[in-house]
């Protein structure tokens, strides 16, 4: 596995290998056992979008693996200010062993992989967020014991989280139900691919505008912010449109009695989720946040290691 651009590109074996390594790296980290798998390696981290979890988890992850990470703000480099991705990819390939990029366009990520000669990791785009979903899967495995056959419900905006859940769940034979308002559905191309994958893996996919329909029998309930970066001007309009998509305690109780709640953070309480749910006993948001570190270490080790 050279790159992580999209979960759609990975095989089931690839995903299982990442998760298995992440579980072992987490256990070893807690036991104080170090693995300098990437000693002498360097990761460039390009941020066109700001971040808390992505920057800290990748930077700490590289340190724990024995390598170093370089923070490259979009204001500090020429990408996006006249230099082509072709030139940037080729130049950085001479300096670095890998690039993690958090940006707007999925095409930028694809082009870095196309033109460069080093590993490219998608830290987030407007279309996809594969690292987050891998961390989600690790968290679900820890709390539910398995992934295949589990019922995942997503309520909210059809964004990079829900798109990546469609890809990941259908790859692994998990059932996925997504409730979004009309006009805010998941990407049509992603949905088409996921439905096709589901035919071969046996995943059940429900796409609806009704959160109550989506949440029935859910083992895992996931939501995300209604206003992603770059959508700030739409905030008031979106709040009105999504007002019936808050994961309230009443809605959450319609899921399985042992369902867990997940959110990739940052969260806006009383908008996409009620405080009683996100701060309640079945919320695993901080396990989920921690697992970004471990699963990304696994991704870096598998793509950048010798």
Residue 74 has pLDDT above 90, yes or no: no
Q: Are residues 139 and 279 in the same domain?
A: yes
Q: Are residues 104 and 125 in the same domain?
A: yes
Q: Are residues 71 and 83 in the same domain?
A: yes
The pLDDT-based confidence of 73 (bands split at 50, 70, 90) is confident
Q: Are residues 123 and 140 in the same domain?
A: no
Q: Are residues 125 and 136 in the same domain?
A: no
Domain that holds residue 230: 132-283
Q: Give a yes or no: residue 35 inside a domain.
A: yes
pTM, two decimal places: 0.97
Do residues 299 and 131 lie in contact, with contact meaning Cβ atoms separated by under 8 Å?
Answer: yes
What count of other Cβ atoms lies within 10 Å of the Cβ of residue 35? 16
Average pLDDT, the chain: 96
The pLDDT-based confidence of 157 (bands split at 50, 70, 90) is very high
Q: Are residues 218 and 267 in the same domain?
A: yes
Q: Are residues 154 and 270 in the same domain?
A: yes
Q: Tell me: the pLDDT tens digits for 167-218?
A: 999 999 999 999 999 999 999 999 999 999 999 999 999 999 999 999 999 9
Q: Give a yes or no: residue 1 inside a domain.
A: no
Report how many domains make up the chain. Answer: 2
Residue 148 has pLDDT above 90, yes or no: yes
The CATH number given to whatever domain includes residue 19 is 3.40.50.1370
Q: Tell me: the pLDDT tens digits for 36-66?
A: 999 999 999 999 998 999 999 999 999 999 9
The pLDDT-based confidence of 81 (bands split at 50, 70, 90) is low
Contacting residues for 149 by C-beta, under 8 A, at least 6 apart: 173, 174, 175
- The residues that are catalytic are 102, 129, 132, 224, 264, 292
Q: Give a yes or no: residue 2 inside a domain.
A: no
The stretches of the chain forming alpha helices (DSSP H) are: 12-30, 53-64, 85-95, 106-115, 130-144, 160-172, 188-201, 211-215, 235-241, 249-252, 275-278, 285-304
């Amino acid at each position: 596995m050279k790159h992580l651009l999209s979960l759609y590109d990975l095989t089931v074996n690839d995903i299982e290998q990442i998760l298995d390594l992440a579980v072992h790296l987490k256990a070893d980290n807690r036991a104080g056992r170090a693995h300098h798998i990437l000693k002498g390696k360097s990761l460039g981290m390009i941020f066109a979008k700001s971040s808390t979890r992505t920057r800290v988890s990748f930077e700490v992850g590289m340190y724990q693996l024995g390598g170093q990470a370089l923070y490259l703000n979009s204001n500090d480099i020429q990408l996006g200010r006249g230099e082509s991705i072709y030139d940037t990819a080729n130049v950085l390939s001479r300096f670095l062993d890998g690039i993690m990029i958090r940006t707007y366009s999925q095409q930028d990520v694809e082009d870095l992989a196309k033109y460069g000669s080093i590993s490219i990791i998608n830290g987030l785009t407007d279309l996809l967020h594969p690292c987050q979903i891998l961390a989600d899967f690790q968290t679900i495995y820890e709390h539910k014991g398995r992934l295949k056959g589990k019922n995942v419900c997503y309520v909210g905006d059809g964004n990079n989280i829900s798109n990546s859940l469609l890809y990941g769940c259908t790859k692994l034979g998990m059932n996925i139900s997504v409730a979004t308002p009309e006009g805010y559905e998941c990407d049509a191309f992603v949905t088409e691919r996921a439905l096709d994958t589901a035919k071969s893996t046996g995943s059940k996919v429900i796409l609806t505008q009704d959160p109550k329909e989506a949440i029935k029998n859910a083992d895992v309930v996931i939501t995300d912010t209604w206003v992603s970066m770059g959508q700030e001007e739409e905030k008031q309009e979106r709040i009105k449109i999504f007002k019936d998509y808050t994961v309230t305690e009443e809605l959450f109780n319609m899921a399985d009695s042992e369902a867990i709640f997940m959110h990739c953070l940052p969260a806006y309480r009383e908008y996409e989720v009620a405080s009683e749910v996100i701060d309640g006993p079945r919320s695993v948001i901080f396990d989920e946040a921690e697992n970004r570190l471990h699963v990304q270490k696994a991704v870096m080790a598998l793509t950048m290691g010798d």
